[in-house]
Chain A
Amino acid sequence: MADFADILTIFVLAMFVGFEIITKVPPTLHTPLMSGSNAISGITLVGALIAAGSHEWLTATLGFLAVVFATINVVGGFLITHRMLRMFRRKE
C-alpha cells in the first residue's frame, strides 16, 4: 500500500496542473470541456472492473452496475465531445 502522504501529494499536484491547463480553455469550448472532462471522470470504470472481478455476489453485482454506469459515462462522454468539437470551424 502506498503511503497516504504520497497519494495526497499526487492529488494536490494534479489539482494544480488541472487549474493551470483548464484556465487556458477559451469560453467557446466550455461545453465540450465539460462533456470531455466528464468522460475522463468515468475513470472510476477502472475501479469498477476490479470490483466486478470479485467472487462474492454482492461485490460483483455492485461492480457490474458500476461498470455499466461508468461505461455510459466514458463512451457517451467522448463521443458527444467528438461530435461537438467537429462542428467548430474557422471563417474560410
Chain B
Amino acid sequence: MLNQTIVNLLYLLSSVLFIYGLKGLSHPRTAVRGNLIGAVGMLIAIVATLMLGNVRWEIVISGMIIGSGIGTVWSFKVPMTAMPELVAMFNGFGGIASVLVAGAAFITTETENVDLQMTISTAASGLIGGVTFTGSVVAFFKLQNVKWIPDGGFFRGQQVLSTVLLILCVLLGAVLVYSPASVWAYWVIVPLSFVLGVTLVSPIGGADMPVVIALLNSYSGLAACATGFVLNNSVLIVAGSLVGASGVILTNIMCKAMNRSVWHVVFGTLGPSSSTPSADDVYAGKVKATSPEEVAMLFDGARRVVIAPGYGMAAAQCQHVVRDLANLLEARGIEVEYAIHPVAGRMPGHMNVLLAEADIPYDKLKEMDEINPTFSQTDVAIVIGANDVVNPVARTDPNSPIAGMPILDVDKARTVVVIKRSLSPGFAGIPNPLFAADNTLMLFGDGKKAVLETIAAIKAG
C-alpha cells in the first residue's frame, strides 16, 4: 500500500509524461514515441491508483479485460476511412465514464462533507459528460450516413428545445448546489443532458462534422477535468485540460477553414440562399467532359501536377490508385504534390491519414497556405472527390453560403481535371463554377475506375 503523497507524486509524473508525449506529436518523426510516452504515463497513473488500496480486484480486472478486449479489437479492425466514427465513439465513452465516476463519487460522499466545489463540478461532469456521450453517438451514426437521422435534425425548432434543456440542467445544478442532499437532481441532469446531446448534434450538417468531432473531443477532456474537481484529483485535471485545450484549438482551426463561427455551426444552417444561381445557369453548355486518354495526353510535357483530394476519394477508396498514378508521373520526371484543405474529409487531418496509409510520404502533403501560391506554376491540378473546398465562388460571391471560406486555388492551374461522378453539389448545396471554367475538364465516373483508366492510358501512350 502506498500513501496518498507518494501516489500524488506518481500522478505528477504521469502528468509530465502526458505533456511530454503530446509534445512529441509536434513532428511525425517523434510522434510514435510521444504516443508511447503518453501510454506509459497512463500506466503509471493506473498502477499508482491500484496501489492506494481498497481495490476490489474482481471488479477491476473483469472491467479492464472487457474494456481492453473491445478497445483492442475495435482499433485493429477499423478501416482508416472510418477513423472519424471511431474517434467520435471513443470521445463518447470518455464522456459517459466521467458521468458515472462523478455520480459514484457524489453518492458515496457524506452530505456534510459535500462542499461547493464538489456540487458544481458534479453537476458540470453530468452535463458535459452526458452531452459528450449522446452527442458522440449521434455523430457516429451521422458519419455512417444512417437514414433515420434526417439532415437538419428530427424536427424544426430543435435548437429551442436544446436551449430549454440547457437552462433546466443549469437550474438543477443550482438545486444541487443549494441542497447537496438532493442527489436526485444529479440523476435528472444526466438524462436531460443525454437528450440535449441528441438535440444539439443531430441538426448539424455533414460539412460541419470536423467541427463537431473537434468540439466533442474538447468536451470529453473538460468532462474529465470536471470529474477531477469532484475527486480533487490533479492528474485528471491536468490530462483533462490538455485534451480540452487540444479540442478547442482544433475547433478553432476548423471554423476558420470554413469561415464560420462555432455558434453558427451549432445553431445556424448551411444551404443555398435565394440568390444562389441555379445549376443550369452555371453549367449550361460550358462543361467539357473528357476521357482518360485525353487526360493522359495532358501529362505530356507537364512539369508539375497537384492533386487535391476530398472526402469523395475516401468514399471511393481510391487513395492507393492515386498513389500509383503519382508514382507513374514521378517516374516520368513530373513533380507531384498534394493540396490538403483543412476541412477536406470528415475530421481534422483525415486526408493526411488516408494518404499516409497509401504510403505517400508526409512531406508531399502541403497545407493550403503553402500550396496556393504554387498553383499558377502548376500544369495540371487533379481534383478528386472534393467540391466546396475548391469552389471559387467563396472568393467572388459575398452572398454565397461559403463566402469568405478559404479555398484551394486549383482554378489558377493551367488545366484542371475534376474526377467526379456527376455535377451534383457538395455539402453546401451550391453549383461550382470551377466545373464550367475554360481550363477545366470533367472526367466523369467512379474515382477508382477513372484513375485506373488514366494510368492505363498513360502507359499505353
Binding site for B on A (CB under 8 A): 1-2, 4, 7, 10-11, 14-15, 17-19, 21-56, 58-60, 62-92
Contact = CB atoms under 8 A, between A and B. Distances in A.
Nearest to B345: A31
9 contacts: A4-B115, A7-B229, A15-B244, A26-B27, A27-B349, A29-B31, A47-B230, A78-B35, A80-B74
B63 A19 contact: no
A63 B56 CA distance: 11
Contacts of A31: 83, 87, 347-350, 352-353
B362 A28 contact: yes
Contact of B39 (A66, A69, A78): A78
For the complex of A and B, 7 pairs with smallest distance between CB atoms: A71-B67, A18-B245, A30-B349, A76-B71, A67-B63, A75-B71, A51-B104
Contact of B240 (A41, A50, A66, A82): A41
Contact of A34 (B225, B242, B348): B348
Contacts of B23: 21, 24
A36 B18 CA distance: 10
B91 A38 contact: yes
B35 A41 contact: no
B174 to A, nearest CB: 18
Contact of B214 (A25, A34, A62): A34
B347 A33 contact: no
B74 A76 contact: yes
B363 to A, nearest CB: 5
Nearest to B86: A80
A79 B72 contact: yes
A79 B348 contact: no
A88 B80 CA distance: 13
Contact of A43 (B42, B103, B362): B42
A24 to B, nearest CB: 4
Contact of B35 (A24, A45, A85, A90): A85
Interface in B37-75: 38-39, 41-42, 45-46, 49-50, 52, 54-56, 59-60, 62-64, 66-68, 70-72, 74-75
A29 B59 CA distance: 37
A11 B28 contact: no
B353 A50 contact: no
Contacts of B117: 4, 7
A91 B323 CA distance: 13
B35 A70 contact: no
B189 to A, nearest CB: 15
Given A2-B234, A32-B349, 13 more contacts: A11-B225, A11-B228, A21-B19, A31-B349, A34-B87, A41-B220, A45-B42, A45-B45, A47-B227, A71-B64, A71-B68, A75-B71, A76-B72
